[in-house]
Amino acid sequence: MIYLYFSFNHYISNLYSITESGPSVFQYPITASEILTFTVLFLFAFFVNEKTSVKNKILLFAGFALSLLALFSTYKRTGWMGAAAGILIILILKKQWKIIIPGLILILIFFLTQKNVSDVNVYELLNNNPVLERTISTEGKAYDVYPFDDKIIISDYNEGLEIYKDSILQKKIDLPGAVIKFSKWQDNYYLAYLIDTRFLLLENKSSGLSYVNEFISPGMTYDYAVLNNNLFVVDKDSGLTVFTNPEDPAEKFNYNQFSGVTNIYIDSNHIAFKKDQGGFEIYELLEGNRPGKLIFSNPDKLDYFYYSYPYIFTSAPSGLKIHKIDSINYQQLYSFDLIKNVRKIVKADNKYFVLSLDANVYIVEKTDPDSFDLVNKINLGYIPQGISADSSKLYLTHLDSKRSRLLSIIDPYHPSNLGRLALWSAGFKMFLDRPIFGLGDIDLAKYFKVYKKPYQKEIQGHLHNNFIHILATLGLFGLSAVCFLFYKIILIDLKIYFAVKTEPFISSYSLGAFAAFIGFLVSGLTELNFWDHEITTLIWFTFGLNLALLKSVKPENEII
């Protein structure tokens, strides 16, 4: 109930679509999901197996339903898969074929027929009264949209770049990865930014956009901006990198002192950084596009920061504030208390389009020098993934995040899946180099740096899979030992269940213990939960109690 309370607040704040995760209350959400898996499976086992009164059945079902809802609220697929596997095992052991077969058919139909909802909504701006002009539906996931002459270019994730004129697809450009952003760099050169942090350079020729090459920045990229034909990339770990020549990405300058930055804004005289800890800093921009001296900093934790010289927009729980900054003063001009939880701001001419987590776009207009008015708002009913604007139109991309979350289980381009596939590939290479005894039971971060591909920048010390991690660290010898251990636990749990099948309470507990262990194994296909002390404590406790309950009713039974 406590987790559901925090989850409800998470939901009404529209944070699920932003974080793709439930709230962190007691543990990381992924750990909470696996702990809740145990609760769900034990309650389901008692509900299905226990012969008791109607009142107790209702209470058991209520507990199961609340636990299942809390599990869904973690928004973690690892726990979902473990719970689904455990429920299936319980139904198989209880021979509930009338539930199993239709259920599996429905699940199969869902995954075969469902597609992501992916739309681009184009609004015409008529005297500050936006009117929905048209909606473009795409086959992929419309992450971002870029006005391009009389066309628009949609970053359609795994479907590449799609160029539309009006509502008609003119051209589709397939790319070697999932694209999330498109920008102009210099003259006829454009950038497609991929989810794996690669930059693809495209040239606009007479035949249209065509691929030239690809490059990466040194570290974990969080944001980038373009000014004076230079590309400014901020990496949270390695600082600022300035690329000066699209034809030769090796021509670059790196400023390591600007690490810990998540967003960058730049104009002809200044460069502004949003810090990871919540504050911001503004520096002079010198000749040669080099950062100069610090002219202003604010350490206060902010929900959002946007800079458009000489104005600074900040979002905090108290609302949206607009400040003006010059070489001497920093003063607040306006406060819009109505506008909270800002996600993104884009500018077109004298208008600022403010996207908030309440699923509204607020239109703030600069009417006179240092004068701003809230002139309108668009109630969307969804939170756009991407937003852009020009002098006459507003472009918003719409993804159904709830449906996308389910389908992401089988989406190889999902960021979490991409990261895990990279870890597993590197882990298998580690195993091939040390197949018998592995690298040793150590942190694998330094080895992952050796075996990964250059653009795979997220460094992990473990491989997010029990079996691949054991294979890499302990080799075939260790994997054989651990698999034998798991096999014996499965065998003993099954023997206990069949030995106490007619015993009230104990049979339900043994059924739940077996299902929980199966759920643990399935969750361990995408998470290193055997090294997680909260989870392993539950494994050994539930297994030991299963043995103890058997001995309490059948002391002569030699299961082991």
- Of residues 545 and 9, which shows the higher confidence score? 545
User: CA-to-CA distance for 405 and 414, rounded, in angstroms?
Assistant: 10
pLDDT of residue 406: 67
Q: Would you state the structure tokens that stand for residue 397, as one six-digit string? A: 């991309």
pLDDT in tens, 427-447: 999 999 999 999 999 999 999
pLDDT of residue 404: 61
pLDDT of residue 14: 67
Tell me which residue of 435, 490, 381 sits closest to 119, measured CA to CA.
381
pLDDT of residue 18: 67
What strand order describes the sheet that includes 351-356? 342-348, 351-356, 360-368, 371-379
What are the residue ranges spanned by the domains of the chain? 2-95+440-553, 117-216, 227-301, 304-384
pLDDT in tens, 307-351: 998 999 999 888 999 999 876 678 889 999 999 999 999 999 999
Q: What pTM was computed for the model? A: 0.85
- Give the burial string for 338-369 (b: 16+ CB within 10 Å, else e): ebbbbbbbbebeebbbbbbbbebbbbbebeee
Give residue 81's pLDDT band: very low, low, confident or very high (50, 70, 90).
very high
- Of residues 143 and 404, which shows the higher confidence score? 143
Give residue 173's pLDDT band: very low, low, confident or very high (50, 70, 90).
very high
Q: Would you state the structure tokens that stand for residue 26, as one six-digit string? A: 């007691």
Task: Please give the average per-residue pLDDT across 370-392, as a whole number.
Answer: 92
pLDDT in tens, 176-224: 989 999 999 988 999 999 999 999 999 998 888 889 999 999 999 999 9
Q: In percent, how much of the chain has pLDDT > 90? A: 67
Give residue 29's pLDDT band: very low, low, confident or very high (50, 70, 90).
confident
Q: How far is CA 375 from CA 7, 369, 383, in A?
A: 34, 16, 20
| One-letter identity of residue 518 | I
User: CA-to-CA distance for 476 and 435, rounded, in angstroms?
Assistant: 6
pLDDT of residue 148: 86
Tell me which residue of 273, 186, 166, 180 sits closest to 228, measured CA to CA.
186
Domains 117-216 and 304-384 share a fold: yes
pLDDT in tens, 235-265: 999 999 999 999 899 999 999 999 999 999 9
Q: 117-216: which CATH architecture?
A: Beta Barrel (2.40)
pLDDT of residue 207: 83
Helix (H) or strand (E) holding 203: strand 199-205
Q: Would you state the structure tokens that stand for residue 292, as one six-digit string? A: 């100069």
Give residue 53's pLDDT band: very low, low, confident or very high (50, 70, 90).
very high
SS (H, E, C) 367-411: EECCEEEEEEEEECCCCCCCEEECCCEEEEEEECHHHHHHHHHHC
Residues 6 or more apart in contact with residue 486 via CB below 8 angstroms? 521
With beta carbons less than 8 A apart as the criterion, state whether 416 and 30 touch.
Answer: no
pLDDT in tens, 448-505: 989 888 888 888 889 999 999 999 999 999 999 999 999 999 999 999 999 999 999 9
pLDDT of residue 255: 94
Give residue 116's pLDDT band: very low, low, confident or very high (50, 70, 90).
confident
Residue 402 has pLDDT above 80, yes or no: no
Runs of H (alpha helix) within 94-149 = 97-113
Tell me which residue of 385, 408, 353 sits closest to 14, measured CA to CA.
385
User: CA-to-CA distance for 506 and 557, rounded, in angstroms?
Assistant: 15
Task: Please give the average per-residue pLDDT across 156-171, as a whole number.
Answer: 91
Give residue 386's pLDDT band: very low, low, confident or very high (50, 70, 90).
very high
Strands 208-215 and 221-227: unpaired
pLDDT in tens, 120-143: 999 999 888 899 999 999 988 899
Residue 26 has pLDDT above 80, yes or no: no
pLDDT of residue 328: 63
pLDDT of residue 3: 79
With beta carbons less than 8 A apart as the criterion, state whether 479 and 467 touch.
Answer: yes
Q: Does domain 304-384 have CATH number 1.10.10?
A: no
pLDDT in tens, 352-366: 999 999 999 999 999
Give the total residue count for the chain. Answer: 560
With beta carbons less than 8 A apart as the criterion, state whether 301 and 339 touch.
Answer: no
Residue 66 has pLDDT above 70, yes or no: yes
pLDDT of residue 327: 67
